[in-house]
Structure 1
């Protein structure tokens, strides 16, 4: 699919979802994880995990992705020799990201899925899942995206409320965001907001806010030549020192080091 921007709502469903970003960049939310994405991003989202890719505010050109959704009937799962591994992979993490040498191989499997028809397409999709399951044992090529243990399954009304709140937060990252304001958007009292937010999102509000700001900063550091101090301000950090601390905590590099590594990679 090709869109002007990835700007859909946070959502969840019963399917396993494989996403390959072929063009564009932005911020990806899968369960409790909030991270930057760019072309080449390859992620499997496990069933009933809230997720969204957002490029609003980053891309000034069309964005593209290839998406495969797969739902395995219990009968089919029992026939697979590796069904115990499937259960382990789907229950242990909100999602899995392929990195390094695995990406080229799985991109070829995506091509096979889209080229096939009927039962051949189902077989190709199962081969895609089998590859991901096998790679989940190798931390050098497959990384877990958060834990399913912290996730709460919201009903439709709660899902809409939390999506409204997360969109509201993304639109105001450059400004100070208070608990009182966020609580009003979620329609809960300020006193109950921290617990409600952690139950729905899987992490404390301040941690999520800093995750999102650092993810946005990662995109801007790679995409633009703006000074680091300017990027820190645009992403809502009141001081450069606080930005550097939060960035290193999550990325294990300084902002300048991260930018330099990106320029070398290209």
Structure 2
């Protein structure tokens, strides 16, 4: 049986994008299909199965999924729950133009056999769910292009953010370890470093080390240093704080150690990284 192919010219030829709310109370599953456009889907509630490119992937509340042109997929509810998700569709050409302007790397959404899927942390859910609902409301008010740009700007960082965790990876982490890792994104916890990481995990250092090695292939010290460097890179690109202040705020004991670790990670000095970061045009 041939899989139906959907075309943008038939779905929403006169609008910048299309948005819809799906509920399994009214439709138990979406039908298997392919399309010539891209989609972002956010799971608002419930659990389900995403059948995509001949593989079955679990989905649940808080999942963000990017479906590419020509992905063959369908989503259905499981466990008798009311699966609800908001779907926002848009032309691939428009998305690629946005990616070029916003420096969204292609590998964040177009590489691999399976589409990108991210299980969002609580703060990500608080930002993404309203963004999807606003896009849904704006669609019914005419779907202006500005609304689509605003939606992309709010949601796309979660496809590429270095601390975002893929759903399949997060599912493998024990709850205590997942909670400790996310808590370490807090500035105060990052500054406190490894002792705070051990405290937050609620287990011994040896147990934490074994678990991180098994699930993340990193030591506790490597995880802390990675998170500190990622925060430092963000501050270099988004603030005018002195480099020494940033290093201290992120928990690095000496400036020389910070410079050495930063070069190892980003292949350039903190100053060079800051100079290369995208800048707003100023008079």
TM class by smaller structure: 0.3 to 0.5
Larger radius of gyration: 2
Give the TM-score of the pair, scaled to structure 2: 0.42
Give the TM-score of the pair, scaled to structure 1: 0.45
